A and B are shown apart, each in its own frame.
Chain A
Amino acid sequence: MLYTEKVMDHFNNPRNVGVIDDADGVGEVGNPVCGDIMKITIKVDDTDHINDIKFQTLGCGAAIATSSIVTEMARGLTLEEAVAISKKQVADELGGLPPAKMHCSVLATDGLKVAVDDYLTKHGRAPIAGEVKSADPNFDPHADEDDHDHEEEAVAPTPPAQDPGCCQR
């Protein structure tokens, strides 16, 4: 499985890494069971433009690269424009993603949508992004891929420090 040069660039030199402490909107998506978690924080000015955006990601090369590029793409956009960014646009911006990694681009756009709706609802306004499945802690991003069968039971992620089982400390 090959990553494009642009994916590797964003993986090795990710842009906008970090957390905005007094963020206007926060979006956290993914879950530890699937190994991908993304948190996007945004600042929004009074013309509804995103004037600052940062991300943190636990995940593979594609997860980090898609988070990084989505923050570049969203910076300066209006909230409406930001939630309209599609996973295909994210993948195209990176020069393409291997098919098995396309779900990472969904996670990136979902994180942004959750952050935008978080801002709107905090300010008593209607959310615009609609349902975002990966904001559910039991979400399985691979559920609609036929080369992968996850267990049907939802597994609530517990802090592993309680009983790592195999991990001999």
Chain B
Amino acid sequence: MNSTYFDYAATTPVDSRVLEAMMPYFTEKFGNANSLYSLGRDAYRAVEGARESVARSIGAERPDEVIFTAGGTESDNTALIGILTKLAPEGGAHLIVSAFEHHAILEPAEFLEKQGYELTKLKPRKDGHIHPDDLRAAMKPNTKLVSIMHANNEIGTINDIAALAAVAHEGGALFHTDAAQTLGKIPFNVTELGVDAASFSSHKIYGPKGFGALYLKKRTPLVPYLKGGGQEFKKRSGTQNTPGAIGFAAALELMIAEQDVEIVRLSALRDRVIAGVTSVLENTQSSVTEGARLPHIVSMLINGVEGEAMLLQLDNKGISVSTGSACSSGSLEPSHVLLSIGCPPEIAHGSLRISLGRFTTEADVDYFLEVFPPIIERLRAMSPVYTRMFGSK
């Protein structure tokens, strides 16, 4: 049976070239980068070399603007809590995040609200983007930090970060972006975008899990989250993860080298999936169609079927996908992202996210288009309300 992985936005395999670069640092060059003897100094040089590479890749002015962390979630938590509590230690300051952020931003934001900060969750418009005018309208004299994701991981829409950061700065606030889904996949340059901080995740770009980074523009205030030995310029203590840093830097270099070709290739595959589904099955649509979208994400609404049932049926055929249905989530709520763009819950239950990647082939798309319509037809035939709600099959 074919094994077709269509969930690259969830995670990616470690590229063999990345693994090769990492291997020596597990068993031969295993030194603690803080140690003064040569084994330690070699590790230190490796970590700092990785830092310089990442700084170059993102267009940072200096390598010490890149802090290594244990992943995107840590970077997000550090950015929100670390920056806001330094800027306004007594509370009272206003934080704006978008309503369709990943939970790694929403949870620390809600935590800060309970600690006495004001929180606004800015809604996207129906087109799935956060509009600069709406951000401007939400800014207040006491707004100190704004965090808007570069692109949404569920629906694939890309926000105009340069414009949003400018609005934040106009209003006297700092600007952070969660770039976990965009780094390496579309052009990303901290200077061009004008951000003060940005979060990155290694396992989204064929690097190892448990590793990420936080870009912090020089002089950006921060209360460190992890306190200890003072590593990462006293901003994030803990013995450096040498293989992780090497792997992440190597993974990012590969992404950037292959970026232009991959944008074209993946966009074409993405569009083939969408056209293939909508031309064969009635009552199916993309959740968003306007504006800039990521090349690798397909977000579709399959009316009259439930997402978990769709996912399990596809799994039977060896195809791995994601869904925003309530039944498939731990919380029993349908996707907050789809609800935030005005999708009614009964439509959000039929959501399907396919995300493509480096190892996706035309044959994978062919196979999916062959097995998907019969699955949907069968599930719709089993439904008591399909004809009543959506018209004829």
A→B interface (CB under 8 Å): 1, 8, 11-12, 14, 17, 19, 28, 32-39, 56-64, 100-101, 142, 145, 147-148, 155, 157-161, 164-169
Q: How far apart are the CA atoms of A21 and B322 in the complex, in Å?
A: 36
Closest CB pairs A-B (n = 10): A60-B327, A39-B384, A32-B346, A165-B342, A35-B349, A60-B308, A56-B384, A58-B383, A168-B289, A166-B343
Kindly name the residue among A17, A28, A56 whose own CB sees the greatest number of chain B CB atoms within 10 A.
A56
Q: What band does the interface of chain B fall in when counting residues whose beta carbon is under 8 Å from A?
A: 35 or more
Given the interface contacts A56-B384, A100-B330, does A35 sit within 8 Å of B306 by beta carbon?
yes
Closest chain B residue, CB of each to CB of A103: B332
B→A interface (CB under 8 Å): 126, 128, 285-290, 301, 303-309, 312, 316, 325-328, 330-334, 338, 341-347, 349, 382-386, 388-391
Given A32-B389, A157-B346, 14 more A-B residue pairs with CB atoms under 8 Å apart are A11-B309, A32-B346, A35-B306, A38-B384, A39-B384, A57-B382, A57-B383, A61-B308, A161-B390, A161-B391, A164-B301, A165-B126, A167-B301, A168-B288
Given the interface contacts A142-B332, A147-B331, A166-B126, does A60 sit within 8 Å of B285 by beta carbon?
no
A-B pairs with beta carbons under 8 Å apart, 24 shown:
A1-B330, A28-B384, A32-B346, A33-B344, A34-B326, A35-B345, A35-B349, A37-B384, A58-B304, A58-B306, A58-B382, A61-B312, A64-B382, A100-B330, A148-B331, A155-B345, A158-B344, A160-B303, A161-B391, A164-B344, A166-B128, A166-B287, A166-B288, A166-B338
Q: How far apart are the CA atoms of A161 and B388 in the complex, in Å?
A: 11
Question: Within 8 Å CB of B128, what residues of A?
Answer: 166
Which secondary structure dominates chain B's binding surface?
loop
Kindly name the residue among A14, A39, A58 whose own CB sees the greatest number of chain B CB atoms within 10 A.
A58
Question: Within 8 Å CB of B289, what residues of A?
Answer: 168
Question: Within 8 Å CB of B326, what residues of A?
Answer: 34-35
> Is B385's CB under 8 angstroms from A37's CB?
yes
Question: Within 8 Å CB of B328, what residues of A?
Answer: 60
Q: How far apart are the CA atoms of A28 and B304 in the complex, in Å?
A: 16
Q: How far apart are the CA atoms of A59 and B134 in the complex, in Å?
A: 37
